[in-house]
Homo-oligomer: A and B are copies of this chain.
Amino acid sequence: MVYNEKQMLNALHKHGYKVTPQRRVIIGVIMNSHEHLTPAALHERVLRLDPSVGLVTVYRTIEILTELGFICEMHAGGGSRSYLMRRPSEHHHHLICSDCGKVIDFTDCDLDKLEHRLAQENKFKIDSHLLEFLGQCRECNKKTLINVVTNQDKSVPSR
Q: List chain A positions with a Cβ less than 8 A from chain B.
A: 15-16, 67, 73, 75, 77-78, 81-82, 95, 97-98, 104, 106, 108-111, 114-115, 118-119, 122-138, 141, 157-159
Closest to A141 in B: B125
Asked whether B138 lies within 8 Å of A133 as measured between CB atoms, the reply is no
Taking a contact as CB atoms closer than 8 A, the residue among B78, B123, B130 that contacts A77 in the complex is B130
CB distance from A122 to the nearest CB of B (A): 5
Cβ–Cβ < 8 Å partners of A15 in chain B = 157
A-B contact pairs, 25 of them (CB 8 A): A16-B159, A67-B158, A73-B78, A75-B75, A75-B82, A77-B128, A77-B130, A78-B128, A81-B82, A95-B126, A118-B133, A119-B135, A122-B137, A123-B137, A124-B136, A124-B137, A125-B136, A127-B134, A127-B135, A127-B136, A128-B133, A128-B134, A129-B132, A130-B131, A131-B132
A98 to B133, CA, bound (A): 22
Cβ–Cβ < 8 Å partners of A141 in chain B = 125
A136 to B104, CA, bound (A): 29
Task: State whether A126 and B135 are in contact (beta carbons under 8 Å apart), knowing that A106-B118, A109-B114, A114-B110 are contacts in the complex.
Answer: yes
Task: State whether A132 and B135 are in contact (beta carbons under 8 Å apart), knowing that A15-B157, A118-B106 are contacts in the complex.
Answer: no
Asked whether A124 lies within 8 Å of B115 as measured between CB atoms, the reply is no
Closest to A139 in B: B123
A56 to B137, CA, bound (A): 35
CB distance from A24 to the nearest CB of B (A): 20
Closest to A83 in B: B82
